[in-house]
Amino acid sequence: MNKHQLNPDQQRAKAGLKELGGVLRAENRKQRTELREILQTQAENKPRGSYLASFSWSKVLVPAGSLLAVIVLMVAIAPKSGRVYPTSIGYPEPNTDYAFEETAMTGSAMSAPSTFKRQFIDDLGSNAATDGEVQAYRDEYGDAFEQNLSIDVLAKRQEQFEEISQLFQGSDGYIASFSDHGGNSRSINGHIPVEQLDHFKQGLVGIVGSYKFMTQSSYGYNRVPDLIAIDEKITEVEAAIAELEEKIANEQNLSNREELEQQLAQHQQFLAEREATKDEIEDRVEYVDISLYVNHIPSWWQAGDYHELRQSFAGYTDPSLGQKVLINFIYVVSKLLVLLSYTFWLIIPFLIWRWRRSRERKMFQALD
């Protein structure tokens, strides 16, 4: 039984009172009419005011306030746009073969040549090498391609940072420089042999779990023209050295001999530098320069914003439809929970108020 219900005695009393009330309200029509006339006379003697309604601020403030609240809510829960990452997403192989072939055919470098190699090739009028020259060099030296690889990796666990660092040694390479950005990201610059590149990438995928958590961009320099030019120069200089040595052997005049010896020394130095450059280029060709940027990404329940949440599911790739639905669902629910926590101090009093009103209504329902 509802505790607000009346007992039979109370029910009877209520019914009786209502009946009596109805009778009393219908009473005294005479006085009602007489008083009406008196009031009508009184009212006629009173002045009439203007028909213009007084301005009600609440009619403006309430809609404006509601609109403002809706706008604030929309801004608060709007998903933020993600960062743009470089292309070549998810491809395990560097997409440079096309560029290499093109530059091999034209003989020009794919990108601007670095200063260290060009300064020693001073008499090469242009970067161009003929197709025949390039092919001849390839036959002799193989593909001379200096590859630089820039890889961004998302790591969910701190242990993965160390594992990735150790991968260089595991691939017969070495780390040239290293910097730790506060524990949430790490930059590693290292070198690994070209033949170990596949092994390195497989290892990386094995650590982070999927290709979608890595992105890479690669670029490189075609060194074939450089090596051709250097070889030509070396040959020239060697010939000049041989000629000078013969002249020195045949020279009787001391001062002339001294002068020739100075020239020989210069040529020998020049040759040594060229050979050093060639060695350096060949080293660079044999090793891949890797710039690895490891970024820590939280798990989906720890993600701080929409972008992190998206990355925790899809990494650097575009999420599938199902993933998008899931990501947006989690995001909206998390925002609602945040909103709930902000408005908690409003909700509790509101719920108390609602409960009181409901209780009052139930109380008086029985009494009505």
50 versus 179: smaller Cβ distance to another protein: 50
Residues in the chain: 368
Can residue 13 be called a binding residue for another protein (CB under 8 A)?
yes
Amino acid at 8: P
Separation of alpha carbons 229 and 243, rounded Å? 21
Separation of alpha carbons 351 and 337, rounded Å? 17
Can residue 351 be called a binding residue for another protein (CB under 8 A)?
no
Phi, psi of 333 (to 5 degrees): -65, -40
Can residue 199 be called a binding residue for another protein (CB under 8 A)?
no
Separation of alpha carbons 183 and 187, rounded Å? 11
3-state SS, residue 48? coil
Contacts of 168 (CB under 8 A, 6+ apart): 174, 175, 188, 190, 192, 200, 290
Separation of alpha carbons 265 and 272, rounded Å? 10
What do you get for the CA distance between the two ends of the chain, in Å?
18
Q: CB of residue 13 vs another protein: minimum separation in angstroms?
A: 4
| Residue from 19, 101, 259, 280 binding another protein (CB under 8 A) | 19
Can residue 51 be called a binding residue for another protein (CB under 8 A)?
yes
35 versus 348: smaller Cβ distance to another protein: 35
Can residue 1 be called a binding residue for another protein (CB under 8 A)?
no
Q: CB of residue 41 vs another protein: minimum separation in angstroms?
A: 11
Q: Would you say 188 and 140 are in contact if contact means Cβ atoms under 8 Å apart?
A: no
Per-residue mark of binding to another protein, 301-340 (x: CB under 8 A): ----------------------------------------
Q: CB of residue 295 vs another protein: minimum separation in angstroms?
A: 57
| Residue from 1, 2, 3, 46 binding another protein (CB under 8 A) | 46
3-state SS, residue 185? strand
53 versus 249: smaller Cβ distance to another protein: 53
Can residue 358 be called a binding residue for another protein (CB under 8 A)?
no
Can residue 360 be called a binding residue for another protein (CB under 8 A)?
yes
Closest to 121 in 3D by CA, of 282, 268, 278, 279: 278
List helix spans (H) across the chain: 8-25, 29-44, 58-77, 97-106, 115-118, 131-141, 159-170, 197-208, 224-250, 254-286, 306-314, 321-342, 344-367
47 versus 322: smaller Cβ distance to another protein: 47
Can residue 18 be called a binding residue for another protein (CB under 8 A)?
yes
23 versus 75: smaller Cβ distance to another protein: 23
Token representation of residue 259:
């002068």
44 versus 123: smaller Cβ distance to another protein: 44
Can residue 43 be called a binding residue for another protein (CB under 8 A)?
yes
12 versus 138: smaller Cβ distance to another protein: 12
With b meaning 16 or more CB within 10 Å and e meaning fewer, what string describes 62-86?
A: eeeeeeeeeeeeeeeeeeeeeeeee
Can residue 73 be called a binding residue for another protein (CB under 8 A)?
no
12 versus 354: smaller Cβ distance to another protein: 12
7 versus 252: smaller Cβ distance to another protein: 7
| Residue from 39, 239, 333, 340 binding another protein (CB under 8 A) | 39
Can residue 2 be called a binding residue for another protein (CB under 8 A)?
no
Can residue 65 be called a binding residue for another protein (CB under 8 A)?
no
Binding site for another protein (CB under 8 A): 6-7, 9-10, 12-21, 23-28, 31-32, 35-36, 38-40, 42-44, 46, 48-51, 53, 360, 363-364, 367
